[in-house]
Amino acid sequence: MADVGVVMPVYIQNPEFLRLALESVLKQTFSRFRLVIVIDGAPEMEPLVNRIYAGDPRVLIISYPVNAGVAHALNTGFDVLLGDPEIRYLTWVSSDNVYDPAFLEVLRTALVKGPPELGLVYSSFRSIDNEGIQLDDEHKLAALRQYQGQPKAKLLDSSIIGVSFMYKAEPARLAGGYRMQPVEDYDYWLRLEEHCDIRFLPVELMDYRVRSSHSVSAQLTTKENHRNWRYTFHLTRLQARCRRGIPPALTILYAVQAPDPHHDYALENIYEQTFSNYIFRIIDVSPDNQASAGLAGISHPITEFAWMPGASVQHALYRTLLGVSTPYVLLFGPELFISYMDIEYLMAGLIKNTETSISNYYTPDHSRIGYRSRGVPSVKQSLTNELFKTEALVELYQLTMRQNPAGNEGLR
């Protein structure tokens, strides 16, 4: 009896990569599985697939003449498998990766032997180049295991599950189909784990082909495609937090006075941060609303624009600050953050030291994080790029406004 179902979506692919991928699935030590190959708008791939699988009765081929995307291909395959009452475990595989012989067996065994609430298991993996050469030494593999082994809650920040996984059919039915291309897998994990527990297996079970010519990652090399991917990635996390009733933790305020190419870099700098549970408010104080006119093109699902013509930067920020509802707030710019994890580290540090500190910031050389305490003079002269408890920044702002009521000097 076959109780494992596997889907392989196939679009235009290097024939050798496809051969290696498909053969590695067909030669699994656990052989009681069904494989649905969905050829999605690449009929030229079908003869090669037919030659490789050579009439294996476990294989079903579905072919579409027009490409409809990975999510559609996956849903097509899983609709077939979920219609089979014998199928209890599901996974999908890529047409350019190579799977260890025990890939299915190890993942299935973990689900079978796990508690009933366990619905998804995932493992680590090795990276290879287009020639099949291993790219990771043991140090890199250990770092990846540590990253993937983070608590379940970290899935809201990044796709720790990766590319080697298996899940039960019951939570899959509850989660619904794949969507949100090109982050269809990440969106699916977020919805799936709302119905079950997940567990990491610290073992490598496959070779992941990095930047294969026809892979999703290769398609993200242009700025426009990367921005579209990033927008969907942020939107997926926002939707998950809304479903779970998780409010934003941080508001980032960014004031602009005139059009400047630096503003584009500033937005990219924030949008690439690993920490994502924030609201980003751009405050345009220019008289004609042109300072931020071009920024809306760098789309982001949690960015808001406000126009306050004639206001000084100081007064515009203060008025906006009074309406901030998140527990933390940050006045951004003009300097950029150096690392994509800077805000994440600041948030973790201030939450940990919340009883003794009202804010934290990076020292000028970025070597450490400094803290500001209530009533204690700070060595940091400005309030920008410093993470504050919101009520503390309001108090400091009111003091700054009294000392400098007309200008912007207090907010350097």
pLDDT tens-digit map of 306-332: 999 999 999 999 999 999 999 999 999
Q: Which residue would you say has higher pLDDT here, 400 or 116?
A: 116
Q: Say which residues have a Cβ less than 8 Å from residue 284's Cβ, sequence separation at least 6.
A: 256, 291, 292, 305, 306, 307, 308
Please state, in angstroms and rounded to a whole number, the distance separating the CA atoms of residues 227 and 235.
12
pLDDT tens-digit readout, 79-135: 999 999 999 999 999 999 999 999 999 999 999 999 999 999 999 999 999 999 999
Entry field: residues in the chain: 412
Q: What is the pLDDT of residue 411?
A: 44
CATH of domain 4-227: 3.90.550.10
**What is the residue type of 70?**
V
Q: Which of 318, 338, 294 is nearest to 405 (CA)?
A: 318
Quickly name the fold that domain 249-411 has.
Spore Coat Polysaccharide Biosynthesis Protein SpsA; Chain A (3.90.550)
Average pLDDT of 56-69? 95
**In which band, very low, low, confident or very high, does the pLDDT at 412 lie, cut at 50, 70 and 90?**
very low
**In which band, very low, low, confident or very high, does the pLDDT at 227 lie, cut at 50, 70 and 90?**
very high
Average pLDDT of 250-263? 96
Please state, in angstroms and rounded to a whole number, the distance separating the CA atoms of residues 175 and 243.
13
Q: What is the pLDDT of residue 222?
A: 86
pLDDT tens-digit readout, 19-34: 999 999 999 999 999 9
Average pLDDT of 374-403? 89
Q: Which residue would you say has higher pLDDT here, 344 or 403?
A: 344
pLDDT > 90? residue 377: no
Q: What is the pLDDT of residue 214?
A: 60
**Least confident range of 8-17, 46-55, 106-115, 344-353:** 46-55
pLDDT > 50? residue 410: no
Q: Say which residues have a Cβ less than 8 Å from residue 23's Cβ, sequence separation at least 6.
A: 52
pLDDT > 90? residue 220: no
**In which band, very low, low, confident or very high, does the pLDDT at 409 lie, cut at 50, 70 and 90?**
very low
**In which band, very low, low, confident or very high, does the pLDDT at 54 lie, cut at 50, 70 and 90?**
confident
Structure tokens at 337: 């953050």
**In which band, very low, low, confident or very high, does the pLDDT at 384 lie, cut at 50, 70 and 90?**
very high
pLDDT tens-digit readout, 122-162: 999 999 999 999 999 999 999 999 999 999 999 999 999 99
Q: What is the pLDDT of residue 383?
A: 93
| Residue whose token pair is 């970290």 | 154
Q: What is the pLDDT of residue 213?
A: 66
Q: What is the pLDDT of residue 405?
A: 63
Residues of the chain with CATH 3.90.550.10: 4-227, 249-411
Contact 155/138 with Cβ under 8 angstroms? no
pLDDT > 70? residue 240: yes
The whole-model pTM stands at 0.91
Q: What DSSP element (H or E) covers 70?
A: helix 70-82
Task: Count the Cβ atoms, other than its own, within 10 Å of residue 181.
Answer: 18
pLDDT > 90? residue 72: yes
Q: What is the pLDDT of residue 401?
A: 73
User: Strand, helix or coil at 168?
Assistant: strand
